[in-house]
Structure 1
């Protein structure tokens, strides 16, 4: 059952979000989060049982804003469905060019917690990736793409693969290349109305 949101809880999550995204979850202490939020560590632990619960709340808090942003890019793009899919990648490449971009917070957290598959943050990341895949499958289905669930999964593989390569090379051109590949795949399965 999700915790009731309060201004203090939101302040803690906001502080944790900035620090976790900037530095990684392992490098950020609960003391640093409490200090950033302007609270005592005791107050932080009143709202979160553990740092693990706070890490999960950080990712849960990124889920809907990230999905909304990608859906906005998709909807705003002109042209066929393949152009809309490619627009998600193009906009992510634009965002990745910002000096403060550190990659996909969900993937970075999963990498840090790879030896802990039952961690609540791994579950939060899995929910987010599934939410995106299911949303995309619905959009593809609505626009006449054959096998929309399979296609959505292939696009997620391209997207997350590009995120990983961009972290290694620090080059957003990889996500643009992945976007062109995704558009090609969608075009091959798009049923055009005659």
Structure 2
């Protein structure tokens, strides 16, 4: 569907997604988003009360698609539980090799809003991370893994650490190494 034929709110969110992810939330102005969406700033403010509301909506729009992608990568593997967990990291490493990859949008936003812990986007980011952790814990529990909640938390820590390290070193093999560690942890608890 052509950009002009899409609802204004969708065009604004699409533009915010592209710009916030590529450049960061503080670097991108409301003017830039409205221009990218091909709309006036007045139209943007009709749909979003403030830039903060738009930042919150940006992260909320990434929540379910990201969780669905992790589930897809997990489910595509016919192997063992440790191999399924490792596959999430393997696919993340592939994604990290794309020139437009900028890491985890939730973590990057949290870093930019670190001095604003009550910001609505911080709550969306925290909820996203908790949903991923809860999903993993259920997968582990359903498969009889010992200490499923603790193991899920370890995997989340490995993943977020890998995201951060790759941004510092520009080396996706850190994600692969985290995947190997995750596989070994799951194997030890199976």
- Cα displacement (A) at 1:42: 0.5
User: SS at the partner of 1:145?
Assistant: coil
| 2:175 matched residue in structure 1 | 175
Can you give the 5+ residue segments of structure 1 that lack an aligned partner in the other structure? Answer: 1-5
- Cα displacement (A) at 1:144: 1.5
Structure 2 distance, partners of 1:143, 1:73, is 17
TM-score, scaled relative to structure 2: 0.96
| 2:56 matched residue in structure 1 | 56
Count the aligned residue pairs: 185
TM-score, scaled relative to structure 1: 0.94
Matches within 5 A, 1:85-124: 85-124=85-124
Write out per-residue CA displacement over residues 25-50 of structure 1, whole angstroms, 9 at most, x where no aligned residue: 01000000000111100110011010
Structure 2 distance, partners of 1:42, 1:34, is 9
- Cα displacement (A) at 1:7: 2.2
Can you give the 5+ residue segments of structure 2 that lack an aligned partner in the other structure? Answer: 1-5
| 1:153 matched residue in structure 2 | 153
| 2:3 matched residue in structure 1 | none
Confirm whether residue 136 of structure 1 aligns to residue 136 of structure 2.
yes
What is the root-mean-square deviation in Å for CA atoms of aligned residues?
Answer: 0.9
Structure 2 distance, partners of 1:83, 1:55, is 35
- Cα displacement (A) at 1:111: 0.3
Deviating above 6 A after TM superposition, structure 1's stretches of 4 or more consecutive aligned residues are: none
Write out per-residue CA displacement over residues 26-78 of structure 1, whole angstroms, 9 at most, x where no aligned residue: 10000000001111001100110100010010000000000000100000012
